[in-house]
Structures are given as structure tokens and as C-alpha cells.
Structure 1
Amino acid sequence: MTENHLTQRNRKTEGKLALGREPWTESRIQAESGLLAESEAYALRAADKLVKAQVPRQDIQILAKLVEGLGHLGVVTTLDKAAGEVLIQTTEGCWPDLRRALEHMPVELRFLTEETCRQDMSKPEKSLRYRQPPKGD
């Protein structure tokens, strides 16, 4: 194909695209996608649960691997490495399962989120700190 032939073909294609577009179509699509993006953002905000916790500095990496490896129940982000502060992001639906898993992990964990602390304080049999299991001989 020659360059002239390609140019003519491109002009025909551009003409078809220009004829196929209606001004109202673009605005409708933009409006629908804007509504869709807005509803998705709301759904993400409503579904997320952020739990701030503190663990010994040396256990941050193992906590992240355990939480993220448990069927994607949550994601761990380090907030302050020196203090051992982490942020666990999960969903409302996954939080009960993740919480039970955290109670049985070999990591000393203390919740720092006010809402979570209040829930823990109302249950005297559960402390904020979880003991590490005894090490085998």
C-alpha cells in the first residue's frame, strides 16, 4: 500500500467516526460514567474498615504476611516502623474472621483504634494483648 492510499483510508475512517458521534451521546456517557464512579467510590468507602494496631517491630513483616495470606482478609500497612504501628485495612464482612485469626496468631498485638478498643474493653475475658504460644522444645 502506498502512503497516498493509507492517507485516503484514514480520511474515510475519520469521516465515519465523526458521523457516528452525536453530541448528546458523549454527554450521556460522561454522565453515566460519573455516576458510576461516584457510586463505586461510595461503595469502597462504606466497605472499608481501618483498624490501627501496634505490634513489636520485629513482627510487622510476619503480621503482614499472615494477614494477607489468609484468603485476602486484609492488607497491612506500616504507619510507624519504630513504634510498631500498623494499619489493617479490611471490609466489614471480613473483619470478624480476621479478628478471630489475629487472636490466634503468634504475634503480640494491641489494637489502637478507639472503636475496636471499646469493643475489647467491654469483653473482660479478652485482653488487648494476645499472648504468644509457648515455644516448643
Structure 2
Amino acid sequence: MTIIESLYQYFKACPLLGDNKINIDYLPEKNREYTIDTITGDPVIRKYIRGPALKQYLFAFGSREAYGPDALQNLSNSGFYEQFAKWLDTQTKIKNFPSMENQKPIRIEAQSSGYLFNSDAEMARYQIQCRLIYYEN
């Protein structure tokens, strides 16, 4: 199983997402759904002399949300990402990580606050940048 597949299965169990669909590198224009998008960056944090490495998998977790002049709606959208970041912190504290075959996950975390990425008159994309840190032999 690939790392992105592991993350997909992992986030399907997140209670904050409800029954909303999770996609990979895709969000529809008008429906409320979520996406896991890979981000470029150096995957190696540290290489060890005997071969193993400390690595990271960078990704953005995003959603399409209703958006407009209603402050309560926009507060709810931003509040979701604050809760999502706390959920990731809790998962690291209790050592509940994505299931991985040849890697040992040690941390999953938000690297930014959730933010408005782009919008039109009625819908907006919000996202948060995250990373999964793991050991690989």
C-alpha cells in the first residue's frame, strides 16, 4: 500500500469528516468534499549511516465549502481546520497513525493553520498543510 493510500484509509475514520467524500488530488466545483493533495518537498529529513532514514510525506488536506458574506459560515469553515489540527495532534499523542507496510510512522501534524485557498461567489477551497513523519529502513 502506498503512503497516499494509507492516508486515504486513515482519514476515512476521522470523525470530523462525517459521511463526506474524500478524494485524492481532486475537488469538485460545487459539492462539499475533501481532498488529500501531495505537496513537493524533500522527503528525507535525516539519513542514518546504517541505512534507515527519517522521512516526511508532505500533503495538503483541503475541502470545498459554502462561502460568502455570512460571517458565521466562514467562521465555521475556519473553525473546522482548527479542530482538524487538534485532532492530528491528539492522534500523535495517542500514537494512532496510518497503517504503513515498510515504514514506521512517528508523527502526523499540521504545518500551517487552515486557510482560504481560493473562492468564487458561492464556494471556496480551504486547506491546511500537513506532514507525516516516519522511519524507513
| TM-score past 0.5 threshold | no
TM score, norm. by length of structure 2:
0.28
Q: Which has the larger radius of gyration?
A: 1
Structure with greater proportional strand content: 2
TM score, norm. by length of structure 1:
0.28
Q: Which has the higher contact order (CA 8 A, sep 6+)?
A: 2
